């Protein structure tokens, strides 16, 4: 079962007219407010702008939210930003879910406000349903050995090894042949300046 006392905040974004031009965001906000587990639904002109993000943080404090759904654009654009935003208000970043009502809805459903709004409601409903099953996650911190192995001692391997070594890292350069140099060492001259290869 999902955790009890779920308090989900839904933040519906107009994205100027990008979403609001095709979707009835007022109706969408009202719909979202009545979805199971939702404590508050807020509509914003630009949720990603500073005032929009501050609104999310304020709502987290005021309504004691423990899950956040942002109904706006693709997570590939803004998930990282909104994760930071809710983390700033004390929530684990994995408690965020995005409902993509722009790229997957308003932008591809022109001229049919009713159908676009119906689809947007479903997208938000699905995101809220998923939010019920989000849990705080800790990112495992793995120690890093400060050394690199470069496989191949041609010009690329040589350059990579030198750069890493110059940056202060230990480098093992492994070359199959008896000398480094690779194909470069077999060339007499190289273009465009016709200079020696070695």
Partner 1 sequence: MMDVGRHPNIELLTHAEVEDVSGYVGNFRARVRKKARYVDEGECTACGDCAAVCPVVVPDEYQIGLGSRKAIHIPFPQAVPSAYIVAADECLGQNPIACGKCIEACEKKCIDFDMQDELLDLEVGAIIVATGMEVYDPTAVDEYGYARFPNVVTSMEFERLISTGGPLEGHFARPGDLTRPKHIGFIQCVGSRTQDPERGYPYCSNTCCMNTVKDAQYLKDNYPDTEITVFYMDLRTFGKGFEELLMRTKSNGVRYIRGLPGEVREDPASGNLRVTVENTTANRLETHEFDMLVLSVGGKPATNTEAIRQMVSLSKSPSGFLKEAHPKLRPVDTPTKGVYIAGAAESPKDVRESVTQASAAASHAAILLNKSRFAVEAITAVVDEDLCKMCGQCAGVCPFGAIHWEKKSVAHITSAACSGCGTCAAECKFGAIEMRHFSDQAMYAQLDAILDEDPSQKVVTFACNWCSYAGADTAGVARMAYPPNARIIRTMCSGRVNPEFIWYAFKKGAPVVLVSGCHYVDCHYIDANRSTTRRLDGLWDGLEKQGLRPDRLLLEWCSAAEGPRWQTIMTEAEKKRASVSPEEVERTRELLASARVPSPRNPKESDENQDAEFACMRCGHEWAGYFSANLERTCPQCRSNSVRWLRTSR
Q: Contacts with partner 1 in 117-136 (CB under 8 A)?
A: 118-119, 122-123, 125-126, 128-130, 132-135
Q: 43 vs 119, which CB is nearer to partner 1?
A: 119
CB of 68 to partner 1, least distance (A): 15
Footprint (CB under 8 A) of partner 1, residues 81-120: 94, 100, 102-105, 107-112, 115-116, 118-119
Judged by CB under 8 A, the number of residues near partner 1 is: 91
- The CA-atom distances, in angstroms, between 138 and each of 28, 60, 95, 180, 190 are 33, 20, 11, 44, 52
Q: 30 vs 164, which CB is nearer to partner 1?
A: 164
Helix (H) or strand (E) segment spanning residue 12: strand 8-13
Q: Which stretch binds partner 1 (CB under 8 A): 6-14, 26-34, 49-57, 167-175?
A: 167-175
User: Nearest CA to 75 among 50, 94, 52?
Assistant: 94
User: Nearest CA to 57 among 91, 6, 95?
Assistant: 91
Structure tokens belonging to residue 198? 């070695």
CB of 17 to partner 1, least distance (A): 13
Angle between helices 25-33 and 113-131 (to 10 degrees): 30
Q: Which stretch binds partner 1 (CB under 8 A): 26-34, 45-53, 56-64, 174-182?
A: 174-182
Q: Considering only residues 11, 53, 76, 84, which one is a binding residue for partner 1 as defined by CB under 8 A?
A: 76
Binding mask 25-54 for partner 1 (x = CB under 8 A): ------------------------------
Q: 61 vs 135, which CB is nearer to partner 1?
A: 135
DSSP string, 88-123: HTT--GGGEEEEE-TTTTGGGSTT-HHHHHHHHHHH
Cα Rg for the chain, rounded, in angstroms?
26
Q: Kindly state whether residue 182 participates in binding partner 1, applying the rule CB under 8 A.
A: yes
**Residue 96: how many CA atoms within 13 Å on its side-chain side?**
27
Q: Kindly state whether residue 59 participates in binding partner 1, applying the rule CB under 8 A.
A: no
């Amino acid at each position: 079962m999902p955790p009890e006392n779920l308090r989900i905040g839904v933040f519906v974004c107009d994205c100027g007219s990008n979403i609001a031009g095709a979707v009835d965001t007022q109706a969408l906000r009202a719909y979202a407010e009545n979805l199971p587990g939702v404590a508050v639904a807020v509509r914003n002109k630009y949720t990603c702008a500073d005032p929009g993000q501050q609104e999310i943080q304020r709502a987290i404090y005021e309504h004691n939210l423990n899950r956040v759904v942002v109904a706006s654009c693709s997570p590939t654009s803004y998930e990282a930003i909104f994760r930071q935003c809710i983390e700033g208000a004390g929530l684990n970043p994995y408690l965020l879910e995005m409902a993509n009502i722009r790229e997957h809805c308003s932008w591809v459903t022109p001229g049919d406000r009713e159908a676009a709004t119906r689809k947007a409601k479903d997208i938000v409903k699905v995101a809220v349903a998923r939010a019920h099953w989000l849990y705080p996650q800790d990112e495992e911190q793995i120690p890093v050995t400060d050394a690199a192995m470069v496989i191949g001692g041609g010009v690329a391997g040589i350059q990579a090894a030198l750069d890493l070594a110059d940056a202060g890292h230990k480098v093992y350069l492994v070359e199959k042949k008896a000398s480094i140099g690779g194909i470069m060492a077999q060339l007499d001259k190289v273009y465009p300046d016709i200079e020696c290869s070695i």
